[in-house]
A and B are shown apart, each in its own frame.
Chain A
């Protein structure tokens, strides 16, 4: 997927003016955030589970090479294969080679963010294999040729009228006078359209929420059942997973699963949690003949041991998106790549470089909501600050911005001078703004005053008021 993160500001401005998007984003507040709060309140052990989840992931990352090798051994022992890939190109080639060997014409897909990272759909399509997204949200954006706007609800930015329009434009063999007024009708239509695609697919591709070192299993968590049909019916099941998905045991996965659904959708448990291990056994009544895990690094190993390592604990629940005031205002597509919201603002510069994605860590008010709801306690604001520092060190922000910061830094390092300057500034602005009490426009501050007034200082700096107050006390 081609990144448009450089155009973040223009994207965001456009999103703020998009009436459909703004209407759709209202649903996010009542949907995810309230349901999550309710689910968390039902579980008194929440904080302890969080702490244990963090400990499990830290252990897994500290011994990542060991657990991945153990995982691979178990996959092979169960008759499957692990394909180690350094980057998206290698992973795409691996997937295509399997499809070609099996003579695959169509491939069904469960929702996979790694698949989005790889751009696997475009790659397969360019090479003559038709990918069919089967998660309802992902199917909707596939037929609209759009990128996802949310990591668990890819079409959350759309209103139902837009979706109905896309269904009519795509499902041309259906009766044009059929009603498509509500989500029930559209859900039934998608079910009917996709069912034959499930049955016809030669290969099924899913992501993985976890890889289990103990058993060589991959786990997917879904609600629709599309992932299960995708991986059960075709000849081969291909799992796309990045390195950091591995945890030691089924018990460890159980602990994190208790955090995942509650954080994501506010469910106690998702409708389907499916543990897959190898291909069908000799006496199995059904199941795929082949099981492949495409194990992708794509920049993860470089994050280990550094200041962004904590990000590798992310379980992609999207709680940080759902609670972010910036995300809720502009939606996910403004961020310009696969991962939006606070987790994207940390991960995207890590994977694409701060030159491309430097705008993202700046798009935060640092309100801290993301970190407080993160089940894995990832210090997202702190890491966004790290990215801002790196961006500054590399001279990437605009000249005026850097100059302003340099001026401020000069005074900030010399407290005496800072105090004099602040006092002078307060007096000056206080004197000229005295009558009205606020400014409609100020030089160098148009960004602020374009949309709101700047309150005028009352003529004294804090330090001078404080000194006066202390002097008064001493005199008493």
Chain B
């Protein structure tokens, strides 16, 4: 395939009427790639204090049909989930992602809640995951794959429940990327996860006569449990 590669690159250069980039120009492009220069970020979330960003995140998430429950402490999360499931008459049966953050929660205090830890199967009705960050600008959750985060757990169950800490709320997508770079860099090398999911509300489609229906192929419901412990970013 090397021949094809060179042919494509050559036809690009021919059209641009030049050879490979001159060293200075190539260095400028290289700098652009490593400096993560930000473009304009809308004022909407950026100019808010942390508390305001949390409120905006909740408002924007609810606008796109997610539901939000607030608890004071992480230990309250299993109870909040049990309440949510019983209120909607959903099975009290969930699979939680193999995430130490979720392992630390007191699931045993809810004996009627059937929980399993691991990767979801097609028939599991409820998936519970943590997240990496939450973007105030559009009410968007940022999750990534890894040993603790099977990607399918975000998509296969009918109901996706996501635990968010107040300190995880950031203004913009760019803030999420910066946090991910900081969290996953060793000796200057950034290890990008296989998958980064930005999730904004439950699955939806308008492919039949432009009528919006939730739950096309992914979750029908997206429920966010926000641990509002007074700590903000």
Contact = CB atoms under 8 A, between A and B. Distances in A.
Interface of A: 24, 27-28, 30-32, 43-45, 48-49, 52, 56, 59, 62-70, 78, 83-86, 90, 134-137, 140, 153-156, 159-160, 163, 182-184, 186-188, 190-191, 194-195, 198-199, 213-217, 223-226, 228-229, 232-233, 243, 248-252, 254-255, 257-258, 265, 267-281, 283-287, 295, 297, 301-306
Given A160-B208, A232-B152, A285-B150, A226 B16 contact: no
B146 A27 contact: no
A249 B37 contact: yes
Interface of B: 1, 4-5, 7-9, 11-17, 20-21, 25-26, 29-30, 32-34, 36-40, 42-44, 60, 63-64, 97-98, 119, 122, 138-140, 145-152, 154-156, 172-174, 177, 190, 192-211, 213, 215-219
A301 B16 CA distance: 9
A68 B201 CA distance: 33
A24 B139 CA distance: 32
Given A65-B9, A248-B32, A233 B152 contact: yes
Given A252-B39, A283-B146, A305-B16, A69 B9 contact: yes
Given A251-B36, A285-B119, A286-B145, A65 B13 contact: yes
A290 to B, nearest CB: 12
Given A68-B9, A278-B194, A286-B151, A224 B36 contact: no
B174 to A, nearest CB: 6
Contact of B29 (A48, A67, A182): A67
Contact of A214 (B16, B33, B208, B217): B33
A274 B15 CA distance: 32
Nearest to A300: B12
A215 to B, nearest CB: 5
B104 to A, nearest CB: 18
Given A64-B16, A187-B216, A254-B173, A277 B9 contact: no
B173 A64 contact: no
Contacts of B4: 84-86, 90
Contacts of B14: 301
Given A66-B21, A69-B9, A251 B151 contact: no
Contacts of A64: 12, 16
A343 B154 CA distance: 35
A248 B33 contact: yes
Q: Which of A160, A183, A295, A297 has the most CB of B within 10 A?
A: A183
B32 A249 contact: yes
B155 A269 contact: no
A78 B169 CA distance: 29
A135 to B, nearest CB: 7
Contacts of B209: 24, 27, 159-160, 183
B53 to A, nearest CB: 15
A223 B64 contact: no
Contact of A137 (B145, B150, B207, B217): B207
Contacts of B147: 283-285
B217 A229 contact: yes
A215 B192 contact: yes
Given A283-B147, A286-B119, 16 more contacts: A43-B44, A59-B32, A66-B26, A70-B29, A187-B215, A214-B36, A224-B205, A229-B218, A254-B177, A271-B64, A274-B196, A281-B145, A281-B194, A283-B146, A287-B145, A287-B194
B217 to A, nearest CB: 4
Nearest to B14: A301
Contacts of B11: 297, 301-302
A148 B146 CA distance: 36
16 contacts: A31-B210, A63-B25, A183-B208, A187-B215, A225-B216, A249-B33, A251-B177, A268-B63, A268-B64, A270-B200, A271-B204, A274-B195, A274-B196, A277-B192, A285-B97, A305-B17
Nearest to B5: A84
A277 B219 CA distance: 24
